[in-house]
Amino acid sequence: MTRTYNFSAGPSTIAESVLKQAQSELLEWSGCGASVMEISHRSKEFVAFAEQTEQRLRSLLKIPNNYQVLFLQGGATTQFAMVPMNLLGGKQSAAYCCTGAWSQKAINEAKLFCDVSIATDSATDQYLDIPEQESWVIDADAAYLHYTDNETIHGVEFDYIPDSKGLPLVSDMSSNMLSRPVDVSRFGVIYAGAQKNMGGAGITVVIVRDDLIGNVIPKTPSMLNYSMHAKQDSMLNTPPTWSWYILGLVLEWIEAQGGIEQLAINNQVKADKLYTTIDESDFYRNLVQPNARSRMNIPFLLTDSALESVFLEQAGKADLDGLKGHRAVGGLRASIYNAMPLAGINHLVDFMNEFERTHG
Ligand code: PMP
């Protein structure tokens, strides 16, 4: 068996110890005589595990008591619709920052429910920067301000929490959740799909402040209603128990790494190493403004784009996978989430240096 270094944007690499634990427990879990996949979500074992997972998340992120933590389905994409459905509360508009492909998708979905007022838009800069907050125009009548903390495709990440001028702040943290500490009390809603930093696909974490739930738009289906999920402890229907289980194991692994504070340090070291390699060469380029560069998704170009396919082929032979850029922007991209070890970055950097030496 050869496990490669997997730089995929998501689903993405999971710590080997997590996979091994899941493997060892696959047939029989927690003394149940059956796999975790085979038992009722309402069994006392699973309910206890679910509660423990919520507590782990609460303690890792220091989530205040006046927030609900929901474990939902439908991916972050479903949150693009659930956020306006649950938060509009009779208002006609919502404010959005447009800093890349994922904010654009959130905006398009919100337009199904309300007027969208754009607080800032970096499309004219090809999403290579995050415009200064002083230049933003935030609609004071909007129900909330939404932004994407890390743009997975464009490799742009906020290095601060925006000032929402009193509006509830909503953040899509799908691709940088749990990669650094965050002051949850500054937010109305934080949401993230699990398949990058929290395990496998199929489960989405939503952290929502109590006062923002219970005021959905008319005819909102139960499955899209935060309040209904909160009342039923995220077991309104059969939840994705396997994904929930893997998420729990990943949180346990994060604790063993020293928590989010330590992961933030590791992530900075990894990202710095890769950006330095790119910046010190004339062969590779990353065009994102330095203060807006993502620590999680690092897109890069070769000066000679014709060499991209050769790069990918040789990288594959060197056990480096998932480096193809997103189809919307092309080029190359290394996604280096929590579970990518420094050894993987070192291996990639060595490969890049050698590729430059032989093809530069
Ligand atoms: N937001 C961001 C920032 C993402 O990276 C993604 C997925 N790559 C999504 C939303 C959509 O997530 P999902 O596929 O879970 O719906």
Task: Note the pLDDT tens digit of each residue in 160-210.
Answer: 999 999 999 999 999 999 999 999 999 999 999 999 999 999 999 999 999
Q: Is pLDDT above 80 for 1?
A: no
Question: Mean pLDDT score of the chain, rounded to an integer?
Answer: 97
For ligand 1, atom 6: residue with the closest CA: 174
CA 84 to ligand 1 center in whole angstroms: 17
**pLDDT average, residue stretch 310-320:** 98
Instruction: State the closest ligand 1 atom to the C-alpha of 148, by its place in the atom list counted from 1.
Output: 3
Structure tokens at 218: 């008319």
Residue 2 has pLDDT above 90, yes or no: no
Place of tokens 């060499």: 307
Confidence of residue 294 (pLDDT cuts 50, 70, 90): very high
**From ligand 1's centre to the CA of 30, what distance in Å?**
32
- For atom 12 of ligand 1, the residue with the nearest CA is 76
Strands, E assignment, the chain: 5-6, 67-72, 93-98, 115-121, 145-148, 150-151, 156-157, 169-172, 189-193, 204-209, 284-285, 297-302, 320-321, 332-335
Q: Whose CA is nearest to atom 4 of ligand 1?
A: 174
Pocket test for ligand 1, best of 174, 191, 335 (most atoms within 8 A of CB): 174
Percent of the chain past pLDDT 90, that is, above it, reads 99
**Cα 99 to middle of ligand 1, angstroms:** 14
Calculate the CA 174 to chain-centre distance.
2
Cα–Cα distances in angstroms (integers) from residue 75 to residues 196, 205, 223, in the given order: 12, 9, 13
Rounded to the nearest 5 percent, the helix, strand and coil shares of the chain are 40, 15, 45
State the distance from the centre of ligand 1 to the C-alpha of 57, rounded, in angstroms.
20
145-148 and 93-98 as β-strands: parallel, antiparallel, unpaired?
Answer: parallel
Give me the pLDDT at residue 343, please. Answer: 98
How far is 150 from 244, CA to CA, in rounded Å? 23
295 band by pLDDT with thresholds 50, 70 and 90: very high
pLDDT at 75: 98
C-alpha–C-alpha distance, residues 37 and 216, integer Å: 33
Helix (H, G, I), strand (E, B) or coil at 247: helix
- Per residue in 91-101, pLDDT (tens digit) is 999 999 999 99
- Distance, in Å, from the CA atom of 126 to the CA atom of 124, rounded to the nearest integer, reads 5
360 pLDDT more than 90? no
The catalytic residues are 102, 172, 196
pLDDT per position as a tens digit, 76-130: 999 999 999 999 999 999 999 999 999 999 999 999 999 999 999 999 999 999 9
The arithmetic mean of pLDDT across residues 249-267, rounded, is 98
How many A from CA of 75 to the centre of ligand 1?
A: 7
Ligand 1 atom nearest the C-alpha of 150 is 3
For residue 190, the cross-strand partners are 171, 207
Nearest CA to ligand 1 atom 10: 76
Ligand 1 residue neighbourhood (C-beta within 6 Å)? 10, 75-77, 102, 148, 152, 172, 174-175, 193
pLDDT (tens digit, 9 = 90+) per residue, 139-149?
A: 999 999 999 99
